[in-house]
Amino acid sequence: MDIYKQALRPFLFSFLKTDPEFLHHQTMRFLAWLDRSPPDPLARRIRDYLAHTYGFEDARLRQTVWGIPFANPFGLAAGFDKDGTAAGVWSHLGFGFVELGTVTWHPQPGNPPPRMFRLTSDLAAINRMGFNNRGAQALAAQLQQRWQDASSPIPVGINLGKSKVTPLEAAAADYERSYEVLQGWGDYFVVNVSSPNTPGLRSLQAGDRLAPILQALQAKNQTNKPLLVKISPDLTWQELADILELVEAYHIAGIVATNTTCDRAGLQTTTIAATGNPVAQETGGLSGAPLRSRSTAVIRWIWQQTQGKIPIIGVGGIFSADDAWEKITAGATLLQGYTGLVYEGPTMVGRILQGLGQKLDAGGFSHIGEAVGSATQFPQTKSH
């Protein structure tokens, strides 16, 4: 029996009726305690138990992407550990990598609560957090303290956003300042221009606004860290094509597909939120199962358009090995989860990794890299 899904999740979701953000904060406080260095004896025992219980090893799932070794392709998406307070714990839960942030140059509280909502009938969530974080300098200090005597056991990505107080026309300098102080602490960096919860941010996906940001970051990229762009699932194919042109022009290393969506089509949840509105009508980004098909379609399209030459991190609606396999065979080299972890619990990662091994067996693949894009056909080139 899955204790989390059968007992703990119903208690947390139904009986306590607790604000989802409060539960998230309590979870992060516990994980931050586990991550203290040096840990006290109890924390060490718990960490060892987590690694023994949730760890999963399969050499066929190992990959080297951007020159970075990944023990497995499943990572924690940005938004869960914004300030890196549990950066050293995620490997104990089986994750192959972690993406911290979103972090902004200026510390900011984010949008007023309530700002996180569950849609249990849809296995989904809506958030309008608004990049609440302690700022880039605080994250750099946190990671310096955490890794001063060691190094991260798994690759660390850092997701960069624009400060709310920074005008759109000054966005490039804002991203640049965050990157400067954090460059030494991330294995790769993601330019987040696709969250729906910072006014005007998604307009930075337009070519004339995105180009200066990418140019500024690459000019400061003296250590040649992989730079990625996180895109919205709500873009048109032409808008995606415009972004791919910039990706090529500025030698961007990869794409994170996708962020949350503003689409509310087909939702079933009828719960009324504390705001008095139906939860499904709350503003913010929708994540979870309803995003699965669209994010996979975007991954497939990017894989086709780039002939599989640009690594894609697939995120959106991954709850099971079937969901993960769908994205990998569509063209995702790496994967990330967030909302699935909330609904499925900490055993989700191991189940997905074990299931991917079974998928490799069933498909006759000897390595996960062989499966990437295997269900996606490249468009035929017209002869002249």
Question: Helix or strand or coil: residue 41?
Answer: helix
378 domain-assigned: no
196/232 Cα distance (integer angstroms): 9
Mean pLDDT by groups of 10 residues along the chain of 384 residues: 70 66 92 89 94 94 98 98 97 97 98 94 97 98 88 96 98 98 97 96 96 98 96 97 97 98 95 86 97 98 97 98 98 98 94 98 98 89 45
**Residue 21 near residue 32 (C-beta atoms within 8 A):** no
Q: Which of 195, 232, 287, 295 is catalytic?
A: 195
**Residue 269 near residue 120 (C-beta atoms within 8 A):** yes
287 in active site: no
Residue-number span of the structural domain to which 158 is assigned: 3-371
* Residue at 305: amino acid letter: Q
162 domain-assigned: yes
H or E segment to which residue 230 belongs: strand 227-231
214 domain-assigned: yes
Half-sphere CA count of 257, side-chain side, radius 13 A: 28
Total tally of structural domains belonging to the chain: 1
96 domain-assigned: yes
281 domain-assigned: yes
Burial classification of residue 383, based on how many CB atoms lie within 10 Å of its CB (0-12 exposed, 13-18 middle, 19 or more buried): exposed
Q: Which tokens sit at 135?
A: 């700022």
What CATH number does residue 158 fall under?
3.20.20.70
* Residue at 9: amino acid letter: R
pLDDT digits (tens, 9 = 90+) for 220-242: 999 999 999 999 999 999 999 99
**Residue 133 near residue 296 (C-beta atoms within 8 A):** no
Please report the pLDDT score of residue 11 as a whole number: 67
Pairing of β 124-127 and β 285-288: antiparallel
57 domain-assigned: yes
Please report the pLDDT score of residue 18 as a whole number: 64
Please report the pLDDT score of residue 272 as a whole number: 85
Question: Helix or strand or coil: residue 384?
Answer: coil
